[in-house]
C-alpha cells in the first residue's frame, strides 16, 4: 500500500508530498521546504517513519516547487527526476527566486529524465508519469491506478486550473492536457494538486468553471 503525506511549505503554500510504502522507501515530490523549521518538519517525519528517500520528483520546476531541492539532495544524497523540458526553469531559478523575493541555493540539476508513461518505481510500488504540459512545458503528473490517486502539480486545482502566464505556460495546451490526460481518468480518482486542498476527477469534471 502507498501512503501519501502532505506538507505545506514556503510563502507560496506549496504542497510537498512524501510517498512511501511498506518497504520504507519513499519519494519526495516537489520539496518546497525553505526555512530551517520547514526542513526540520520534513526530516522529523522521515526519521519517525524510518523512511529511506530514493529520489526527488519535481512535477515541474517553477521556483516555489524546488526551494527544498538543494537541502534534500544534500541531506539524503539522492538525485532529481523531472521532465527534460524543465531544465531551462532550473537554469533560471536563481533569477526567478530574486524576482519573487527568495535568495536560493543553486538548484541541483536533473539527473533522471521522466517521459510520458515512464514507470516510477520505489519499494514494492509503481506510479505512472503523465506528461501534461501547459502550466510549464515539462509538467508531469504521477498516477497510481491501483489506489486511484494522482499527484498533479499545478495543472489542475480544486475549482481552478494552473496559471499560464509564467515561463513555459500556454492556456490552450493546458486545457488539452487536462481534457485528454486527466479528465479521462476514473471519476473516483483523488487529485492532489500542488497548492490547496485535494479534489476528485468527478468533482472537477462537474463543477470546475474552467472546464
Domain ranges for the chain: 3-207
User: 9 vs 14, 30, 58, 83, 191, CA distance in Å?
Assistant: 5, 10, 15, 23, 19
Structure confidence at residue 101 (pLDDT): 78
Where does 3-207 sit in CATH, by number?
3.60.15.10
pLDDT over 90 (residue 94) = no
Please, is 146 exposed, middle or buried when counting C-beta atoms within 10 Å of its C-beta (0-12, 13-18, 19+)?
A: exposed
For residue 93, what pLDDT band results from cuts at 50, 70 and 90? confident
What tens digit of pLDDT does each residue of 144-193 get?
999 999 999 999 999 999 999 988 899 999 999 999 999 999 999 999 99
Cβ contact 150:192 at 8 Å: yes
pTM, two decimals, is 0.96
CA–CA gap between residue 15 and residue 5 (Å, rounded):
10
CB 122 within 8 A of CB 27: yes
Q: For residue 69, name the pLDDT band (cuts at 50, 70, 90).
A: very high
Amino acid at each position: 500500500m502507498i501512503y501519501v503525506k502532505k506538507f505545506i511549505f514556503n510563502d507560496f503554500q506549496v504542497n510537498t508530498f512524501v510517498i512511501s510504502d511498506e518497504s520504507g522507501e519513499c519519494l519526495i515530490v516537489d520539496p518546497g521546504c525553505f526555512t530551517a523549521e520547514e526542513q526540520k518538519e520534513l526530516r522529523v517525519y522521515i526519521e519517525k517513519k524510518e523512511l529511506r528517500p530514493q529520489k526527488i520528483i519535481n512535477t515541474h520546476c517553477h521556483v516555489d516547487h524546488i526551494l527544498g531541492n538543494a537541502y534534500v539532495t544534500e541531506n539524503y544524497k539522492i538525485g532529481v527526476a523531472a521532465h527534460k523540458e524543465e531544465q531551462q526553469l532550473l537554469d533560471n531559478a536563481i533569477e526567478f527566486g530574486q524576482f519573487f523575493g527568495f535568495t536560493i541555493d543553486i538548484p541541483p540539476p536533473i539527473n533522471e529524465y521522466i517521459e510520458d508513461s515512464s514507470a516510477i518505481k520505489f519499494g514494492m510500488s509503481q506510479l505512472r508519469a503523465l506528461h501534461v504540459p501547459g502550466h510549464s512545458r515539462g509538467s508531469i503528473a504521477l498516477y497510481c491506478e491501483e489506489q486511484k490517486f494522482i499527484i498533479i502539480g499545478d495543472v489542475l486545482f480544486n475549482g481552478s486550473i494552473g496559471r499560464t502566464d509564467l515561463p513555459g505556460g500556454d492556456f490552450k495546451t493546458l486545457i488539452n492536457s487536462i481534457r485528454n490526460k486527466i479528465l479521462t481518468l476514473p471519476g473516483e480518482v483523488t487529485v492532489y494538486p500542488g497548492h490547496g486542498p485535494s479534489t476528485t476527477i468527478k468533482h472537477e469534471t462537474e463543477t470546475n468553471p474552467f472546464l
